[in-house]
Amino acid sequence: MTENRETQLLADVPDGLFIGGEWRPAAGGATLRVIDPSTGEVVKEIADARAEDGAAALDAAVDAAADWAATPARQRGEILRRAFDLLQERKEDFALLMTIEMGKPLAEARGEVVYGGEFLRWFSEEAVRATGRYGANPEGTGRMIVSQHPVGPCFLITPWNFPLAMATRKIAPALAAGCTVVIKPAELTPLTTLYFAKLLQDAGLPAGVVNVFTTSTSGAVSEPIIRDPRLRKLSFTGSTPVGVKLLEQAAGGVLRTSMELGGNAPFVIFDDADLDKAVEGAMAAKFRNIGQACTAANRFIVHRSIADEFARRVTERVQGFRMGRGTEDGVTIGPLIDDRAVAKAEALVKDAVDRGAILRTGGRRGDGAGTFYEATVVSDVAEGSDILREEIFGPVLAIVPFDDEDEAVRLANDTEYGLVSYVYTESLARGQRMIERLETGMMGLNVGVVSNAAAPFGGWKMSGLGREGGAEGIHEYLQTKYTLTPNP
Ligand code: NAD
């Protein structure tokens, strides 16, 4: 890895707003700085949009909407497929860019390129399958036609933790369905979306179909867009409090919304589990993305008879981790996204320990530049501790013991969130009971990572509304029309 390669890559990333197929500065020329969280250094300055730029982006999406909706589905799918192919060619560049702006280890960034790319391939194929149905009504008095139509211009808002995959998971189904979009990436990691917009241009996407703005004043620029009656859909991935605020804004226009919000995933290990597999799954479910995933296991609910052995084994694994800049060989724990994230991890661990938890390893912030926090294990966490209520969003593994199945279910469901759960048991019947009893939209049964472009991703309860990926994903961007005709 050379400095030169990073410098060259960063120079290749556009620094403007992408509106109507053109790159342009923000109104008034404002800029925002993007920081490498592993060094604290500014890596690039890019346009910082104002409300008028957001309005221009929506204008462009509205202007392009009719032509894009009328473009044959196969043609739309082929552009997505070209984007998929180009992404494979540029895989190393996208991975490095994500490591620079977000901090995840390079190997994980490469994994995100694979995962994120699959949405382009999947929806390139789904584009041609979004058809309707035709048939006689039950009374035999007429023929029913059920057809699907693009919902119209969409506004997509994405978080910083998966800069590429969260963008492709929204852009690909929207485009496949025939919708144009305005996308606003997180201000902490905007470069990947800008670089991806350039890729879409190279893939032959017509002007105005995808428009991108970056801003340090998300609320002020987004709200007028959400309240504009020409907008037909809002798809948001981020924290639950911001999602709730946006739902309130969307309510005025009865705007269609998809919400992929926070999680507080339980990871339940029964005494009949294969402990080797559970430890392996725990490592992936907890430490992937440095713990900064909505699907990250937040609470390890472990049968009392094996809780100590589990804690010992995960502690041993964690002590073998290497913390550092994600570009360095062998690094498994990169920086957290910013100082607030470090302060949060610190406060949650302190609260747990103050209430009697045992700190098995870690628990300190890194020395020097960058926002690092050590991989940490705390066991014997008392009920009521903040770490069991809040999304940790950091590399802290918290263990709570339980005595019987009912207690495990009660603890697992004791949260307002319902995104994903993980269960380890060798009993089929118990696994089936957990599918029925755990209140989450997704479950890993003896598996620590569930995400897949072909599967419906989404949460129950306060983890959200709607699904991304799978056959369901494209329907978030389609609206149904029923037409009755007389018998022929
Ligand atoms: P966040 O809610 O702070 O920000 C998400 C996005 O919303 C960013 O682009 C941000 O700039 C923007 N935003 C913030 N305030 C806004 C406002 N008032 N109006 C318009 N936009 C606004 O979340 P984050 O810290 O970027 O991401 C972490 C959160 O995202 C976690 O809670 C995590 O669980 C969640 N997440 C959920 C999923 C999922 O699929 N369910 C996936 C990834 C992350």
- The ipTM assigned to this model is 0.96
- Cα of 186 vs centre of ligand 1, distance in Å, is 7
Instruction: Assess whether the C-beta atom of 295 lies below 6 angstroms from ligand 1.
Output: no
Q: Is residue 368 over pLDDT 90?
A: no
Q: Where in the chain is the domain with CATH 3.40.605.10?
A: 1-261+464-481
Give the pLDDT confidence of 332-348 residue by residue, as tens digits.
Answer: 999 999 999 999 999 99
Taking CA atoms only, the protein residue closest to ligand 1 atom 41 is 260
Whether residue 224 contacts residue 425, with contact meaning beta carbons closer than 8 Å, is answered with no
Interatomic CA distance for residues 26 and 48, integer angstroms: 6
Give the pLDDT confidence of 164-205 residue by residue, as tens digits.
Answer: 999 999 999 999 999 999 999 999 999 999 999 999 999 999
Instruction: Assess whether the C-beta atom of 262 lies below 6 angstroms from ligand 1.
Output: yes
Q: Active-site residue 92, yes or no?
A: no
Backbone phi, psi, residue 265, to 5°: -65, 130
Mean pLDDT score of the chain: 98
Torsion of CA 335, 341, 346, 352, to 10 degrees: -120
| pTM confidence score | 0.98
Instruction: Assess whether the C-beta atom of 419 lies below 6 angstroms from ligand 1.
Output: yes
Task: Please name every residue paired with 256 in a beta bridge, in sequence order, or none if there are none.
Answer: 233
Q: Is residue 402 over pLDDT 70?
A: yes
- Cα of 239 vs centre of ligand 1, distance in Å, is 4
Catalytic residue among 126, 260, 391, 476: 260
Q: Tell me yes or no: is domain 1-261+464-481 CATH 3.40.605.10.
A: yes
- Cα of 136 vs centre of ligand 1, distance in Å, is 46
Q: Where in the chain is the domain with CATH 3.40.309.10?
A: 265-445
CATH assignment of 265-445? 3.40.309.10
Interatomic CA distance for residues 50 and 221, integer angstroms: 6
Quick count: other Cβ atoms within 10 Å of Cβ 7? Answer: 11
Whether residue 52 contacts residue 27, with contact meaning beta carbons closer than 8 Å, is answered with yes
Of the candidates 438, 159, 398, the one whose C-alpha atom is nearest the C-alpha of residue 289 is 159
